[in-house]
Amino acid sequence: MYDVIVVGGSFAGMSAAMQLARARQNVLVIDAGTPRNRFADEAHGFLGQDGRAPAAIMRDVRCQLLRYPTVEVMSGEAVGTRALGAGFAVELSGGGEHRARRLILATGVSDQLPAIPGMYERWGETVLHCPYCHGYEVRDLPLGVVAAHPMSAHQAMLIPDWGPTTYFTQGLFEPDTAEIDAFAARGITIERTPVVELAGDAPALDGVRLADGRFVRVAAVFTAPRTDPATPLATMLGCVHEDGPTGPYVKVDQWGATSVAGVWAAGDTATPMHNATLASAAGVLAGIGAHQASVRAKAG
């Protein structure tokens, strides 16, 4: 039986595993190999790694982690989990299971983009969600915000610092009076006719087609996809969830502990604020939290 199983091998999961490795815990990382950032060619804003491919960063991390003799990293998909008397069992898609005294869920989220033709084939390239992650790469170009939830107006307020901005309400998310005044001060154009298609040779974007046939030239659009847990593991264990602006996330304390004793969660699955640096920091806290719980258990 392992001390800890970490499910998820991206920024949060590997950061948690690193802390546990350095605490000489026996750790298994189960990595399905489908991180949320797999659609992006480069990671940005992550200290010391700006401009590198996320996959390259994770290859380096895996090599560094495996220098510690108490760590194993397994490629595979965790499809089930259950509590045992002395811990937890994690079931794999290919059959078999592994057991640990504690679990860290760093399983991330899946993105459900607005149902507009041309969105998915541009995701991570010219259809973006985080201006801090990708805004600099489309600076000084005509940009759009395709509204997808009530906080889309807040997102639109940010974008003019990277380029001239059009806010597409989609006929659903009209800015209020104060927001209209703020848009005017920021030079944001409001377009109320819905976007029905993204045009151009994907992943490049020439512009968007509106429901009335007009064409608006933009080089990239920002939107806020609906987010859902990438796996049902936290639900299987009975972890409490909270509702965020784009979807549910696992409720955790300041150390990443969930409502279920012995289970921690970190990264995008456990916060409404999605960012690689924040995910890594949350993984550090969860790893330390899981180790300190072990210390307390041994101390009686």
Indicate which CATH number applies to the domain containing 202: 3.50.50.60
Residue 86 banded pLDDT, cuts 50, 70, 90: confident
- pLDDT tens digits for range 49-74: 998 999 999 999 999 999 999 999 99
- pLDDT score recorded for residue 147: 96
One domain for residues 158 and 252: no
One domain for residues 105 and 134: no
Structure tokens at 124: 């991570």
Task: Look at phi and psi of residue 78 and say left if phi exceeds 0, alpha if psi is from -120 to 50, else beta.
Answer: beta
Residue 300: pLDDT over 80 = no
- pLDDT score recorded for residue 156: 97
Residue 94: pLDDT over 90 = no
Which residue type, as a one-letter code, is found at position 150?
P
DSSP 51: T
Average pLDDT over residues 138-150: 96
- pLDDT score recorded for residue 40: 87
One domain for residues 190 and 95: no
Which residue type, as a one-letter code, is found at position 173?
F
Q: Are strands 87-92 and 97-105 parallel, antiparallel or unpaired?
A: antiparallel
One domain for residues 103 and 238: yes
- pLDDT tens digits for range 147-166: 998 889 999 999 999 999 99
- pLDDT tens digits for range 208-256: 999 999 999 999 999 999 999 999 999 999 999 999 999 999 999 999 9
Residue that finishes a domain, picked among 179, 203, 222: 222
Task: Report how far apart the first and last C-alpha atoms of the chain are (Å, whole number).
Answer: 20
- pLDDT score recorded for residue 188: 98
CA of residue 127 relative to chain centroid, distance: 15
Average pLDDT over residues 18-41: 94
Residue 266: pLDDT over 90 = yes
One domain for residues 51 and 184: no
Residue that finishes a domain, picked among 170, 198, 222: 222
- pLDDT score recorded for residue 25: 97
- CA pair distance 79, 93, nearest whole angstrom: 6
In sequence order, the 6+-apart residues with CB closer than 8 A to the CB of 296 are none
Range of the domain at 153: 114-222
| Entry pTM | 0.93
One domain for residues 89 and 134: no
- pLDDT score recorded for residue 32: 94
Return mean pLDDT, the chain: 95
Q: In this structure, are residues 128 and 203 in contact, taking their beta carbons and an 8 Å threshold?
A: no
One domain for residues 207 and 271: no
One domain for residues 79 and 121: no
Within 13 Å and on the Cβ side, how many CA atoms surround 95?
0
Query: Total structural domains in the chain?
Result: 2
Which residue type, as a one-letter code, is found at position 216?
V
Residue 197: pLDDT over 80 = yes
